[in-house]
Structure formats: structure tokens, C-alpha cells
Amino acid sequence: KDPIVDALVDRIIFATDRDDLVAATHALDRILLWNFYVVPQYYRSAVWLAYWNKFKFPDKQPAYVGADIDSWWVDLDKEKALAAKYKGGN
């Protein structure tokens, strides 16, 4: 929806020689880097994450972060129980 970007893309597509192609590509690169664009890709509304059951995390998670694993911590009791379970072969 940006007429300048559209014009540069057309100029790249219909470039008549390499110099014109390189100049248009560099100009498009500068425009795209200067602005902030989001390219929609695949989206899943849930975050799938596998983890050992030895962590605790805040009851309230930040919005729009997904799995904020930087806010998790190790629960020592859970960690000991998990280690005992796997050490015993159960």
C-alpha cells in the first residue's frame, strides 16, 4: 500500500539492465530498512512447549509474549522428586 515501494518493485521487475536492477534494489532495500514492515506468516494461537516438571512460573503471565520462560524458576522440591524418579528407574 506504499506507492514508492510499488514503483520500486515494478522498476526491479522491468529493469532493462543490471545497473538499473542494482540501483532499484538498493533503493528498495533502503526504503524497507527505514520503515517498519510486518510480513504475516503462519500463526498458531497457542504456544506448544515441552519442559521438565521442575519449574514454577508466575500465576499471571504478560500478554502477547507466549511462553515467557525468562520468568520461570526451578522449584527445588519438584527438581528433587524428578531426579529421584529417574534415578530409581520409575
pLDDT digits over 51-74, tens only? 899 999 888 877 777 778 888 999
pLDDT of 89 > 70? The answer is: no
Domain that holds residue 15: 3-34
pLDDT digits over 18-57, tens only? 999 999 999 999 999 988 877 778 777 777 888 899 999 8
What pLDDT sits at residue 45?
Answer: 77
Contact 43, 68 (CB under 8 A): no
pLDDT of 85 > 80? The answer is: yes
User: Does 40 map to a domain?
Assistant: no
What pLDDT sits at residue 50?
Answer: 86
Backbone torsion region of residue 64, taken as left when φ is above 0, otherwise alpha when ψ lies between -120 and 50, otherwise beta: left
User: Does 70 map to a domain?
Assistant: yes
The domain tally of the chain equals 2
What pLDDT sits at residue 28?
Answer: 95
In angstroms, the CA 15 to CA 9 distance is 10
Q: Which residues contact 28 (CB under 8 A, 6 or more apart)?
A: 5, 8, 9, 12
What pLDDT sits at residue 35?
Answer: 84
User: Does 50 map to a domain?
Assistant: no
User: Does 25 map to a domain?
Assistant: yes
